[in-house]
Every structure is written in C-alpha cells, then in structure tokens.
Amino acid sequence: MITGYNQDVVYKGKVYHVQTEDRGEGNPIIETLIYVGGEILSSYKTSYKELLEKGCSEADIAALLEKQHRKIVVDIKLGKHAKEPEKPFGEGIVSNKSLDEVILEYLTNEQEGEKMKVSILDQSPMVSGAKSFFKVRANYDISEVPIDGADVSIKLVTVEGLNKELFSGKTNHEGLCNAVFNIPPTNGSAAVVLTVMHEKETFESKVLVTR
C-alpha cells in the first residue's frame, strides 16, 4: 500500500482538507476525499486494476496517486468546488473509468498550469577551495505538492573552459535536497551552477565563486 497525502487547501477563506489514499492491491482503488468542516464534500475514486493486470510497479501506482491528489487540489484552487453544496458520502464518485480516460484527464490537468517551483532555502558562500552547500525544495506551484525525485546537479564552470560536476542527487519525498560539495581551488573567474530538472522543466541558478 502506497503512502497517501493529507493537505489543507484554502480558497476564499474556506479550508478544504484533501485526503488521498491507496486502498491496496486487494481493493485496487485510489480514493480522494474532500472535507469541509469535518464533513465530506466529495469523494473521488479511480481503479488501477488495469494497471495491475499489466504488471505495473509500485512507482506507477504512486505516480497515479500523486496526480489524482494534485488534480483535486488544483480544482479546489481554481474554484471548481466552491459552489458545490455539501454532499453525502459516496455521491458524485468518479468510477469505472478506463485507463485511457484517467490518463487523458491528467494530461488535461497538466495543461492547466501546474509547473515546477524551486526554492533555495539556504546556501553557503561559494568560496574557492572550500566546502559549500545548497538546500533546495521543489514543489508544484499550484497544488504545492512536493516533487519527489527531481534531478539536482551542481557544476563548477570557469572562464578557462572547465565544466566539472560537484554534486548529483535527487529531491526526497518532501521535495528537499541538501547538496553538500567541495569547490576546488580556482585561479580565474568561476561560477557554481545549480540545476534542478523534472520531466521537461529546468531551473537554474548561478553563483560567482570568490577567493
């Protein structure tokens, strides 16, 4: 069973609590519940039985869970649940969708503007011959869901043409990466380049090296 998400989302002063869980291979359903004031506003279910029959991995199910959660959060932030009356449990359930329908819905959601957002939470001075670090966080800009597995790399570039990798890693399940690296001694002008990549998106930050 995959670890799910619990997130409070605020829209025009109203707090919506979004809970997305995997019911497990015995009941292969990803379920998202939206609570307002402790009562269920809506419930959404997606079966991944077809994925299991095709031999999917745990990572595939985790990706499906993340995308469903993000879609609901984005819908709330776009006001798509603001005018809905509170419904009893089970009403309005999305079910019996084919895998193609689920994928199409998620692709449509991706086009609504969910982009990667990278924040540099902390960093040391970039000094020639010294140990340095970056602490970065990657998340989606609308849903604010952390991005797990974004590629983080740090390189040293110099005017002499040196292009040396100092660090390579990935963000964790909280979207965080603590990159610690050593800057080799430099003679001329140099810069440390931080790059974060996820799917087709790239974030880059450059910091001059001092001596």
Residues 97 and 156 in one domain: no
Asked if 30 contacts 98 with a C-beta cutoff of 8 angstroms, the reply is: no
Nearest to 66 by CA among 151, 173, 207: 173
Q: Which structural domain range is residue 13 located in?
A: 5-110
Last residue of a domain, one of 88, 110, 132: 110
Q: Kindly report the pTM of this predicted structure.
A: 0.71
Identify whether residues 59 and 144 lie together within a single domain. Answer: no
Q: Where among 83, 110, 137 does a domain terminate?
A: 110
Pairwise CA distance, residues 124 & 15, whole Å: 37
Q: What is the pLDDT of residues 30-69, one digit of tens each?
A: 999 999 998 998 999 999 888 888 888 888 888 889 989 9
Q: What is the DSSP letter of 58?
A: H
Q: In terms of domains, do 94 and 31 share one?
A: yes
DSSP secondary structure letters along 69-90? HHHHHHHHHTTTTTTPPP--TT
Tally of domains in the chain: 2
Angle (CA) 141 143 146, round 5°: 75
**Model confidence pLDDT, tens digit, residues 4-22:** 899 999 988 899 999 999 9
Are residues 174 and 85 part of one domain? no
**Percent of the chain clearing pLDDT 70 (strictly above):** 85
On whether both 129 and 165 belong to a single domain, the answer is: yes
Kindly list the distances between the CA atom of residue 105 and the CA atoms of 13, 86, 96, 118, in Å, as whole numbers in the listed order: 28, 24, 14, 26
Q: pLDDT tens digits for 112-133?
A: 567 899 999 999 999 999 999 9
Q: Are residues 130 and 186 in the same domain?
A: yes
Residue 72, sorted as left (phi over 0), alpha (psi -120 to 50) or beta, turns out to be alpha
Residues 65 and 97 in one domain: yes
The rounded distance, in Å, linking the Cα atoms of 14 and 10 is 5
Span 182-211, pLDDT tens digits = 999 998 899 999 999 998 899 999 999 998
pLDDT of residue 79: 85
Whichever domain contains 133, its CATH number is 2.60.40.1930
106 and 120 in a single domain? The answer is no
83 and 166 housed in the same domain: no
Instruction: Tell me, yes or no, whether 122 and 104 share the same domain.
Output: no
**Does the structure show a pLDDT above 70 at 87?**
no
CA atoms within 13 A on the CB side of 170: 8
